[in-house]
Amino acid sequence: MSRSNKIKRRAWLKSIGSFSLVAGLPTALHAESLVKPYQVKESFSETDILVVGGGTAGCIAAIQAGRTGAKTTLIESGSQLGGCTTTGGVSFPGIFHAWGKQIIGGIGWELVIDAVELNGDQLPDFTKKPKSHWKHQVAVNPALYVMLAEEKCLEAGVDIRYYETPTSVKFENGKWLVESTGKGVKTIISAKQLIDCTGNALIASMAGYKVLRENETQPGSLVYSMGGYDFDQLDLSKIPKRFHRALHQNMLTSQIRKTGENTFVPYGYVYVNGADSTTSETHTMANQKGRQNLLRLIRELRELPGCENIRITSMKTETAVRETFRIDGMYKITKDDYVSGRLHEDALSYSFYPVDLHRDGKSIYQEFLKPNIVASIPMRALIPKNSKNFLVAGRCLSSDRLANSALRVQASCMGMGQAAAVTASLSIQEGVTPAKITPDLVKKRLKQYGAIVPS
Amino acid sequence: MLSSVSKYVLIFCLFTLGSCYLLKPKVQYFVKNSDQWTVQSNNEHYISFGDSLFLRETSNGTPKSFYQRFSTGVCFDNQCRPLDIILHWAISGRYLGFEMPKGEFLSKTDHDPFSRKEYLQLNEILSDDDLPFKDIKYHELMNQPESSTESADAISGATSERIKDIVVKNAAYTTYKLWKLVYGESQKFIEQYTEKHLNTSNLMTLLNSQDRNDVAWGLVHMKDTLSFSTPLKNRLLSLIQSEDYYLSYNAVHAIPKTNLNDSDFLETLFSTYLNTSDASTKNIIFRKLIAAPRLSENLLIKSRQSIPTMAPQEISSLLKLYEKHHVKDSVSLGTVRSLVKHPNPYVVNLAKSFLSKQ
């Protein structure tokens, strides 16, 4: 082929290319078409165990339910799992150890240790009695926790439904029919067993079971962190004492890495009085109040000497809530039960924390457990009175207010989540309602799944 | 005559005072169960850092302990009182005790000297590295007005509630000052020095210490580059299998990458994995097995034999281990195939998923 022929051929190919581009352009520019008005997608699905709420207790319950082989569905109103541990920013779950021994293990601990390891952090020495109880809480990277919890749910075959919330709950012909509504979807889910992990007993209440609430509840907390100042260089004698706590942000042992580099902390929080996450309306109000309080604090802090350049470095998207509704259960755990470490025959999980009532946003009533005392959670406290095929896990368990102020913490909720899921699974297997299950059977199964069972 | 008596009286008094001085025990307190040899001066060498911090070494060069003399002051209420003291640390930076030069003693705000009980209390306070002193500033030792800034400089004289249980009564400033000296720059330097010069011999000294804090320190600071001698390997294994779950967890963490080639070691590790009840140790052993370059045939045999008694979540971990190590031999695949008939659908799904990737 001569050189001139080559050039001609190249020019010809080029012209073809240009033609194709020009020919394709109008199509690309006018690729859109009118779309029919969106019709809410309606569907029906059947599951064995339906867990509502993918928070601290709920994601553990769902993973455990899936691992028992039960077909499991998890409804979560937000966009990620973990609840207070992640979205709420209380990313230091506890307490898993008491008096030198581990008292809560299982899936909750599995997630915590996975998150700790993947973040290159190190565990505190739990054999040493801490000066402050919270020093045995373990800091986790919330982003990692979210992903690990989701990965474990998916591995266990859990059908996760984000952005949804139940709008009706009915018990018909021995099964629960739950209408779940989310962005552009409405699903009727038929479930053999229902576990309410909303933390607010919302599903128990919708199902018609009695729930209780204090006239005045504990405040919530909006978690944030700040930068732009050096605490060690501040002259605290020139700063009113009420700001000291805000300026002295917290740090946990497991957040101090060998390299000296910190992970996601320090952190602080502002109180949000009356915070309630039960409904969209109350939760919206709690979030707004939290943000307003934080904005006010930041403005005040910037007036203080040495704090002129203070800035927010992170803020959680939701106010974390301490107390709303509790179920009226087959057994109500009392404060005396808790502080005396009463061991119930049907105890499925331990709980260890001081009685810890944040009263008015300014003071905390605390009562520490005496040496070697560890509280336990009976199965009956997870079952609403006169209920069928229904359990709760998390802070809405049946308990009086002071006991609840200790039971509400994350490790205890994780233990409950695992216990409730095993109970629900065995109920299906045995064909009876949870109240009729022999607790020893549940305990034996829980041990198989790595949980620590009171004895 | 009188002058002669006076002379004798004077000599007697001087003799008595001298005897009192000479016979008065030197103030020195050391932590319980400390390796006393670390602070005894027998046939040893010294390495100095600056003019006050010293490392004691045995004649063969094994580091024993550090000590430092502080001649400083404790200041409050616009007055300073001298403080002359020697502090001792283990090579891990752990506080070992204190001593004072002959004739020196500690006193309280009312100038009363410390009693023996108070010295013992001080020694106990100084041995606790987890006191809130680290977050407390000097002026916070005494009560301050709650919210006003105007009188914040005025000191009420009463020890702050926050620290009253962790200071020697009427000696808050001295307690605080000494604690800050124990856990200050010198301790940081000691830890950094030991870490930098850590060799198998030093490490073994730490791992064999009677104090578990030294053992834990050694485990946390163990380097991958150290020569993994048989005594070290055996000590590590004994710690991994110990009842102390914190040491066990850290001992697994400390296993050097190079030793993951040792198939006997891995098999012992796998047996520990199967037998330990501590979830944290189990978790870390699993990670080490995942990180190992290969799994021995013996380990695979043991793993297959264990499957029937494994919990679902353990089977899940084992299949991840097989997947990571590309376990494809017919016997192992046959064992996984048998899991398709497992009564738990979750396990069935795990097995099917594993087999689908083969």
- In angstroms, the CA A77 to CA A53 distance is 7
ipTM of the complex, rounded to two decimals: 0.85
Helix ranges (H only) for A88-155 are 106-118, 142-155
Least confident residue range of A259-263, A334-338, A340-344, B226-230: A259-263
Q: Do A125 and B246 touch (CB under 8 A)?
A: yes
Residue A264's pLDDT band (boundaries 50, 70, 90)? very low
Q: Which of B168, B73, B163 is nearest to B115 (CA)?
A: B168
Tell me what pLDDT residue A261 has: 37
Residue whose token pair is 């959680």 = A316
- For residues B203 and B160, the model is more confident at B203
Cβ contact A449–B312 (<8 Å): yes
Is the pLDDT reported for residue A342 higher than 80?
yes
pLDDT band at A137 (very low <50, low <70, confident <90, very high): confident
Separation of alpha carbons B99 and B40, rounded Å: 12
Q: Model confidence at B311, in pLDDT bands (50, 70, 90)?
A: very high
pLDDT in tens, B239-248: 999 999 999 9
| Inter-chain touch A125–B153, beta carbons under 8 Å | no
**Are B130 and A131 a contacting pair at CB < 8 A?**
yes
Q: Which chain A residues are closer than 8 Å to B145 by Cβ? A: 241
Report residue A125's pLDDT band, with 50, 70 and 90 as the boundaries. confident
pLDDT at A145 over 90: yes
Confidence of residue B109 (pLDDT cuts 50, 70, 90): confident
pLDDT of res. B4: 64
Q: Is the pLDDT of residue A252 over 70?
A: no
The answer to whether B199 and B167 have CB atoms below 8 angstroms apart is no
Interface of A with B in 78-107 (CB under 8 A): 102, 105-107
Both structure tokens of A180: 């779940």
Give the model confidence (pLDDT) of A26-45 as tens digits.
565 668 889 999 999 999 99
With 0-12 / 13-18 / 19 or more C-beta atoms within 10 angstroms meaning exposed / middle / buried, residue A305 is exposed
Q: Which two tokens stand for residue A149?
A: 């919890």
Is B91 a residue whose pLDDT tops 70? yes
Interface test with A, best of B346, B347, B349, B350 (most A CBs within 10 A): B346
Contacts of B130 in chain A (CB under 8 A): 128, 130-131, 135
Per-residue pLDDT, A26: 58
| pLDDT band for position B164 (cuts 50, 70, 90) | confident
Nearest residue in A to B280, CA atom: A113
Q: Which sequence spans correspond to the domains of chain A?
A: 41-214+323-448, 220-315
Q: How confident is the model at residue A10 (pLDDT cuts 50, 70, 90)?
A: low
Which of B130, B249, B350 is facing A123, going by the closest CB pair? B249
A269 has a pLDDT exceeding 70: yes
Query: Which of A126, A157, A240 comes nearest B349 by C-beta?
Result: A157
When pLDDT is averaged across residues B242-268 and rounded to a whole number, the result is: 93
Q: Which bin fits A219, alpha (ψ -120 to 50), beta or left (φ > 0)?
A: beta
B320: Cβ contacts below 8 Å, ≥ 6 apart: B290
Task: Kindly tell me if the per-residue pLDDT of A195 is higher than 90.
Answer: yes
Residue to mutate among A71, A128, A133, A237, with most B CBs inside 10 A, is A237
Q: Categorize the per-residue pLDDT at B16 as very low, low, confident or very high, splitting at 50, 70 and 90.
A: low
Tell me what pLDDT residue B103 has: 87
Residue A307 has pLDDT above 70, yes or no: yes
Q: Which residue in B has a C-alpha nearest to residue A245's C-alpha? A: B135
B346–A157 C-beta distance less than 8 A: yes
Residue B171: pLDDT band (50, 70, 90) is: confident
* DSSP state, residue B276: -
CA distance A444 to A143: 33
Mean of all residue pLDDT scores within chain B: 85
In angstroms, what separates the C-alpha of A109 from chain B's closest C-alpha?
Answer: 8
User: Does the pLDDT value for residue A408 go beyond 60?
Assistant: yes
Verify whether the Cβ–Cβ distance B283 to A117 is below 8 Å. Answer: yes
All structural domains of chain B: 26-188 (no CATH), 190-356 (1.25.10.10)
- DSSP letter string over A333-389? B-HHHHHHT---TTEEEEE---EEEE-SSS-EEEEPPPTT--EEEEGGGGSBTT-SS
Is the Cβ pair A67, B283 closer than 8 Å? no
Range in A4-18, A411-425, B66-80 with the lowest mean pLDDT: A4-18
Q: Is A102 in contact with B279 (Cβ distance < 8 A)?
A: yes
As a whole number of angstroms, the distance between CA A416 and CA B204 comes to 44
pLDDT at A20 > cutoff 60:
no
In terms of DSSP bridges, do strands A390-392 and A375-378 run parallel, antiparallel, or are they unpaired? unpaired
In angstroms, the CA A320 to CA A87 distance is: 8
CA gap A267, A313 in Å, rounded: 10
Residue A172 vs residues A123, A169, A191, A207: alpha-carbon distances, Å = 48, 10, 10, 11
- Tell me yes or no: is domain A41-214+323-448 CATH 1.10.3720.10: no
Query: Where do the DSSP E strands lie in A111-184?
Result: 159-162, 165-172, 175-182
pLDDT classification of B152: cutoffs 50, 70, 90:
very low
Q: B56-76: per-residue pLDDT in tens?
A: 988 788 888 999 999 887 776
Q: Do A241 and B131 touch (CB under 8 A)?
A: no
CA distance B109 to chain A (A): 23
A259: confidence class by pLDDT, cuts 50, 70, 90: very low
* B153 has pLDDT over 70: no
Q: Supply angle C-alpha B169, B170, B171, rounded to 5.
A: 90
**Cβ proximity of A62 and A421 under 8 Å:** yes
**Searching chain B, which residue's CA lies closest to the CA of residue A102?**
B278
DSSP annotation of B81 reads: E
d(CA B34, CA B27): 17
**Is residue A86 within 8 Å of A79, Cβ to Cβ?**
no
- pLDDT tens readout for residues A319-332: 999 999 999 999 99
More confident of the two residues B113 and A400: A400
8 Å CB contact between A234 and A250: no
Distance from CA of A160 to the nearest CA of B (A): 16
pLDDT tier, A257 (very low <50, low <70, confident <90, very high otherwise): very low
Interface of B to A at Cβ within 8 Å reads 130-132, 135, 137, 139-140, 144-149, 152-153, 216, 220, 244-246, 249, 278-280, 283-284, 287, 311-313, 316, 343-350
Q: If pLDDT is split at 50, 70 and 90, which confidence band does A23 have?
A: low
Mean pLDDT of chain A: 90
Q: What share of chain A is helix, strand, coil (3-state, %, to 5)?
A: 35, 25, 40
Q: CB-CB: which of B147, B153, B344 is closest to A242? A: B147
pLDDT band at A384 (very low <50, low <70, confident <90, very high): very high
Q: What is the pLDDT of residue A139?
A: 86
A165 within 8 A of A180, measured Cβ to Cβ: yes
Most confident of A269-273, A386-390, B131-135: A386-390
CA triplet B254, B256, B262: central angle to 5 degrees? 125
Average pLDDT over residues A61-70: 98
Residue contact B346–A67, C-beta within 8 A = yes
3-class secondary-structure state, position B282:
helix
Between A412 and A227, residue with greater pLDDT: A412
Nearest CA in chain A to B146: A241
Name the residue with higher pLDDT: B100 or B133. Answer: B100
Question: How many A-B residue pairs are in contact by the CB < 8 A criterion?
Answer: 85
Q: What is the mean pLDDT of residues A82-87?
A: 96
Q: What pLDDT score does A241 carry?
A: 85
* The pLDDT of residue B289 is above 50: yes
User: How far is Cα B254 from Cα B40, in angstroms, rounded to an integer?
Assistant: 31
Rg (CA), chain A: 26
Q: Nearest by CB to A237, which of B139, B280, B347?
A: B139
**Per-residue model confidence (pLDDT) at position A268:** 84
